[in-house]
Structure 1
Amino acid sequence: MFAGARPFLRSCMPGLFLTITPNIHPMRNLFVCCLILLLPFAGSAQASELEQRLFELPDVAFEAIKAPEGYAAAYELRIKQPLDHENPERGYFYQRAYLTHRSFGAPMVMATEGYNRPSNRMYELTGYLSANQVDVEHRFFGQSVPDSLDYTYLNLRQATADLHHIRELLGAIYEQPWVSTGISKGGQTTIFYRYFYPDDVAASVPYVAPLNLDLTDDRIYEFLGQVGTPAIRAAIREVQLRMLRSRDEVLPLLRWHAKGAGLKFSYMSIERAFEYAVLEYPFSFWQLGHDFADIPGKAAGIEALLEHFIGVVGLDFYADGAMEAYASHYWQAGSEMGYYGFDTAPFKGLLKEIKEDEPTAIFMPGKAPMGFKPDLVKAVYDWTQRGADKMIYIYGAIDTWTATGVPVSDKVDALWFVMEGKDHGSARIRNMTEEQRQHLLSTLEGWMEKK
């Protein structure tokens, strides 16, 4: 249960096995023995002090969870947040976050997650910085939801104010420099958080984070038209054409697949989902770095083609479960953050369910109308080019989302790493060259020292 009052603590000393080497001086033996005996108590004392300090924070409930190896303690937090930070009387909800504690003297990494966080996840940056970490679930995702989902309150100003409130609360405990980071939509959140609250952190490290400038950003089409080789792009197009031309064979097999997978289609028909998946195929192929060698040749049977297709994009993304899970994400895309669409020109006469010339990849909750306003994203874009210092952007050169990434600017004190051959899941610090990694970490540590 969560600690609404001071939790009842139970601690025990772990088993200890100590071998004494005879040729070591007895006094040194005694010192080593005492040191080893004291280590568990040091960790226990830190956890006890941390719980006391968490207990003293307003609007924070906490429950101890298993700490990752090398950390003194970890907690699942519930933080009371107003629905509207400018008008707190309009109600509140509890935001889920995970706090992982190394020491009070270590820096803090705030992971600005863009979706739900069902469990604690350690980010690689936390390890590189030997830092503490707080991983924050986004408002209106997972368990961080009010009793009634009024999407009026799901906007970037409110979402970043949530992060600022957490920063203020935990900043009373963790006084060393803070760094924010996030991956994909979490990376977007990191950028927007820094825009609204530039002094909250010493630096920001968004990974594979797009900054879309329109409801359907045309830079996606430009990227897909040049990534890879002409032969690879032709093979990808052939898969799309063959799937559509073979719909009478494919759809019965897909219905059996959907039934076996427990997929339901009430938001859209399975026929329409099939067409969307075909249009999505090249985006997913490059985003997740699939191997060109795995694309079935023209001589491959329809079942081999379908197995490959499902492995790359599939239908689950368009089924009811995903529509519900990503409803809040689509709301943000359709109102403030923009997204991407599909070019149907190459498939004239082959699409029976999708009639639009440029259908969007956004599926608004309840099929609500989109009220996209580009003012914020364009303001943030301009800021990244002229005023966003101490930012480190990490992208994969073959990741589709790099198409709408933040462009390099020589007018800011920032770093860009566009990693050759890396995709949405592999563009990470651990996969950099040693020279790149050292440059990133030394620059970041220098910024943190100046904070």
Structure 2
Amino acid sequence: MDSTEVGVPQSQTESPGTDEAASSEDILNRLRAIPGLTVVRETASPIPDTRFFELSFEEPADHRRPHGERFPLSLTLLHRSVTAPMVLHSTGYGGHSFPAQFEPAALLGANQLVVEHRFFATSRPASNNWRHLNIWQSANDLHRIIQALKPLYPERWLTEGASKGGMTSVYHRYFFPNDVDATVAYVAPNSYGVEDARYIHFLHQVGDEACRARIRALQQDALRRREELLPLLEQSATSTGDTFHRLGLDRSLEFAITELPFAFWQYSRAERCAEIPLPGAPAETVFNFIDSISPFVFGYSDSALSFYEPYYYQAATELGAYRLPTWHLRGLLRYPGQNTPATYVSFPITEDFDETLMFRVQHWLWHEGSRMLSLPGFCGHRR
């Protein structure tokens, strides 16, 4: 591992005392006593025998300069007991300000921390220096939180997350393998490059050929009829109040159509193959089906791109993304080659993509990673 990837050495922690002393002291006061941690509010929890707290934790904008600029990272705590295990759920994106528990915490009867990823929502340094958004900085965010709360919660710790949250939990273990006892990563892809061709190989094999052919035919038909579909997209945007200034309606429509094979198999079931409109179907039917698979508002509107911009930046510099099959769309695309992560970012990216980082992570997983469980299932992010 490169020397620049080494985080703060893990310190040894001690038990906060006897269980009797822990249970007799109100957890709110104990949380308030943790340096760098702020209790924003406590709200009622609908989950029996739990208390729910919204918190923030002070983090350095740059962990290589810990005494420089700092910012509050948002997190929530579902508290059961200081003698119960702790599950740290990495969202990978924005946080959750409502009481809920994810599968591992429910199965283990554990406490649960939900941690928002840096640069999402309110968890952003005032300097807005995007060079401080990378997996090493995020791993250090989690490391500092774990080290701060372990004295209060000394039992077993497990990290987990889904999609980019699962990826975040893996990267944390890559840099700090001994921080926690185990990790469960749901749907945590490891992409090689900003257009990883392995995804095309998968999309050529998933499902049956009849369904794949029907998706390709729909794409071709929709692109040939874009002048019929564009007014419907404009009408939809007007009705919802959403804007598409960054990409424009035409490019948003084309990107949604080119995403169809990936989005269909990511979010739908094979049973929906029969619903795929055939060429010549009414324009409204075609538009509504595309919108149900690759939603325009949630994928291409200005508000969606603004929210997911930190992800796209990371995909363009470190995480990588998938390549889409477009050979069958030759002559129908107006923006060929533009559907890449950098296109979705509102500013020019000057950093080169780190071609070796994900290979190093994968090598570590294969040869050194331990007490880690990877599970397939729903994946929650798009390019």
Same fold per TM (> 0.5)? yes
Q: Which position in structure 2 is the counterpart of 1:155?
A: 134
Out of 19, 28, 33, the residue aligned to residue 51 of structure 1 is 28
Mark the CA change 1:47 to 1:148 in structure 2 (over 3 Å): closer, same or farther: farther
**Deviation of 1:155 (Å):** 1.0
**Deviation of 1:49 (Å):** 2.2
Kindly indicate whether the alpha-carbon contact (under 8 Å) linking 2:262 and 2:324 is maintained by their aligned counterparts in 1. Answer: no
The alignment status of 1:355 with 2:336, answered yes or no, reads yes
Q: Which position in structure 1 is the counterpart of 2:13?
A: none
Kindly indicate whether the alpha-carbon contact (under 8 Å) linking 2:85 and 2:110 is maintained by their aligned counterparts in 1. Answer: yes
Matches within 5 A, 1:24-43: none
Matches within 5 A, 1:252-331: 252-290=231-269, 291-298=272-279, 300-316=281-297, 317-331=299-313
The alignment status of 1:76 with 2:58, answered yes or no, reads no
**Deviation of 1:214 (Å):** 1.1
Q: Which position in structure 2 is the counterpart of 1:424?
A: 379
Q: What is the DSSP-based 3-state SS (H/G/I as helix, E as strand, rest coil) of the residue aligned with 2:194?
A: coil
Q: Which position in structure 2 is the counterpart of 1:391?
A: 372
Structure 2 unaligned segments of length 5 or more: list them: 1-21
User: 2-side partners of 1:369 and 1:347: how far apart?
Assistant: 31
Give, as a single letter, the amino acid of the residue that structure 2 aligns with 1:141. Answer: F
Q: Percentage identity across aligned positions?
A: 35
Q: What is the DSSP-based 3-state SS (H/G/I as helix, E as strand, rest coil) of the residue aligned with 2:347?
A: helix
**Deviation of 1:46 (Å):** 4.6
The alignment status of 1:342 with 2:321, answered yes or no, reads no
Larger Rg: 1
Kindly indicate whether the alpha-carbon contact (under 8 Å) linking 1:341 and 1:361 is maintained by their aligned counterparts in 2. Answer: no
Kindly indicate whether the alpha-carbon contact (under 8 Å) linking 1:342 and 1:360 is maintained by their aligned counterparts in 2. Answer: no
Q: Which position in structure 1 is the counterpart of 2:113?
A: 134
Q: Which position in structure 2 is the counterpart of 1:241?
A: 220
Summarize deviations over 1:4-44 as a string: whole Å, max 9, x none: xxxxxxxxxxxxxxxxxxxxxxxxxxxxxxxxxxxxxxxxx
User: 1-side partners of 2:280 and 2:23: how far apart?
Assistant: 64
**Deviation of 1:330 (Å):** 0.8
**Deviation of 1:118 (Å):** 3.7
Matches within 5 A, 1:125-204: 125-204=104-183
Matches within 5 A, 1:192-231: 192-231=171-210
Summarize deviations over 1:366-409 as a string: whole Å, max 9, x none: 2434621122211101011111111111013xxxxxxxxxxxxx
**Deviation of 1:293 (Å):** 2.4
Give, as a single letter, the amino acid of the residue that structure 2 aligns with 1:360. Answer: T
Kindly indicate whether the alpha-carbon contact (under 8 Å) linking 1:109 and 1:181 is maintained by their aligned counterparts in 2. Answer: yes
Mark the CA change 1:280 to 1:367 in structure 2 (over 3 Å): closer, same or farther: farther
Aligned residues: 354
Q: Which position in structure 2 is the counterpart of 1:116?
A: 94
Q: Which one is further off, 246-255 or 329-338? A: 246-255
Give, as a single letter, the amino acid of the residue that structure 2 aligns with 1:349. Answer: G
Kindly indicate whether the alpha-carbon contact (under 8 Å) linking 1:99 and 1:134 is maintained by their aligned counterparts in 2. Answer: yes
User: 2-side partners of 1:95 and 1:248: how far apart?
Assistant: 45
Kindly indicate whether the alpha-carbon contact (under 8 Å) linking 1:47 and 1:73 is maintained by their aligned counterparts in 2. Answer: no
User: 2-side partners of 1:192 and 1:146: how far apart?
Assistant: 21
Mark the CA change 1:47 to 1:232 in structure 2 (over 3 Å): closer, same or farther: farther
Out of 64, 67, 72, the residue aligned to residue 45 of structure 2 is 67
Q: So what's the TM-score if we normalise by structure 1? A: 0.75
User: 2-side partners of 1:234 and 1:393: how far apart?
Assistant: 31
User: 2-side partners of 1:187 and 1:229: how far apart?
Assistant: 29
Give, as a single letter, the amino acid of the residue that structure 1 aligns with 2:73. Answer: Q
Q: What is the DSSP-based 3-state SS (H/G/I as helix, E as strand, rest coil) of the residue aligned with 1:194?
A: helix
Higher relative contact order (CA 8 A, sep 6+): 2
Kindly indicate whether the alpha-carbon contact (under 8 Å) linking 1:330 and 1:365 is maintained by their aligned counterparts in 2. Answer: no
Structure 1 unaligned segments of length 5 or more: list them: 1-44, 397-422, 426-451
User: 2-side partners of 1:47 and 1:155: how far apart?
Assistant: 41
Summarize deviations over 1:299-349 as a string: whole Å, max 9, x none: 632211211111111322112111110111111111111112333321111
Q: So what's the TM-score if we normalise by structure 2? A: 0.88
Kindly indicate whether the alpha-carbon contact (under 8 Å) linking 1:46 and 1:72 is maintained by their aligned counterparts in 2. Answer: no
Q: What is the DSSP-based 3-state SS (H/G/I as helix, E as strand, rest coil) of the residue aligned with 1:326?
A: helix
**Deviation of 1:297 (Å):** 3.2
Give, as a single letter, the amino acid of the residue that structure 1 aligns with 2:206. Answer: V
Q: What is the DSSP-based 3-state SS (H/G/I as helix, E as strand, rest coil) of the residue aligned with 1:324?
A: helix
Give, as a single letter, the amino acid of the residue that structure 2 aligns with 1:213. Answer: Y
Summarize deviations over 1:197-220 as a string: whole Å, max 9, x none: 111111100001111111111111
Q: What is the DSSP-based 3-state SS (H/G/I as helix, E as strand, rest coil) of the residue aligned with 2:219?
A: helix
Q: Which one is further off, 80-89 or 129-138? A: 80-89
Kindly indicate whether the alpha-carbon contact (under 8 Å) linking 2:268 and 2:293 is maintained by their aligned counterparts in 1. Answer: no
